[in-house]
Amino acid sequence: MKEKILDISKDLFLNLGFKSVTMDEIASNLGVSKKTIYKYFKNKTDLVAGVTDYMFTAICCGIDDVCGQKLNPIEEIFSIKRMVMKHLKDEKSSPQYQLQKYYPKIYASLKQKQFHVMQKTIKENLLRGIKLELFRESINVEFISRIYFYGMIAIKDQEIFPLTNFSMNELMNNYLEYHISGIATEKGLQELQNQLTQKQ
């Protein structure tokens, strides 16, 4: 039952936003009483924390699956993007922005966990890219892995990039093009163009 609560809550939060979904709506969608939810989660904040952990774990498993395919590093970045977008339902409700605004402690904890996972993934991606001559040998891997993470956080800031002006898919594609263009060799730029011409 706990996983069912997390799964239904996740869908509601992603579609309608963390702030607007009530415990009554979650109970109604589950076909149970609120009392049943409170057996597993003491309040809505506790449920939000549970859902963000649940989503984080699912995305981490998805990243591991993509990395296990041993794609070339540029293709890997775009594949991870597609997988994340699928999990977050194109971020129509901007979950990160809402977490930051309404649940800052949960957001801060999640950001730390995201940082550690992304640092490892991106550093490995960059080093493989250098080895395969897709990325320039002279790049500073430590700097780029960090700036990549903070850029990814920044494009989800609705005050700077309102979703009325940009779709999240468009933002992600533009950001990946920007990131790869800055570090790629001629060979890497050709692979980037291959990825951009495919349906993203």
Q: Give pLDDT tens digits along the chain (200 positions).
A: 999 999 999 999 988 889 889 999 999 999 999 999 999 999 999 999 999 999 999 999 999 999 999 999 999 999 999 998 888 765 555 777 788 889 999 999 999 999 999 999 999 999 999 999 999 999 999 999 999 999 999 998 888 988 888 888 889 999 999 999 999 999 999 999 999 988 55
Q: What is the DSSP letter of 44?
A: H
- CATH number of the structural domain 2-197: 1.10.357.10
Spell out the long-range contacts of 109-114 with Cβ–Cβ below 8 A and sequence spacing 24 or more. 109/49, 110/52, 110/56, 111/153, 113/56, 114/56, 114/149
The residues spanned by each domain of the chain are 2-197
Helices and strands in the chain, H and E counts: 10, 0
Q: What is the pTM of this model?
A: 0.87
**Contact (Cβ atoms closer than 8 angstroms) between residue 66 and residue 79:** yes
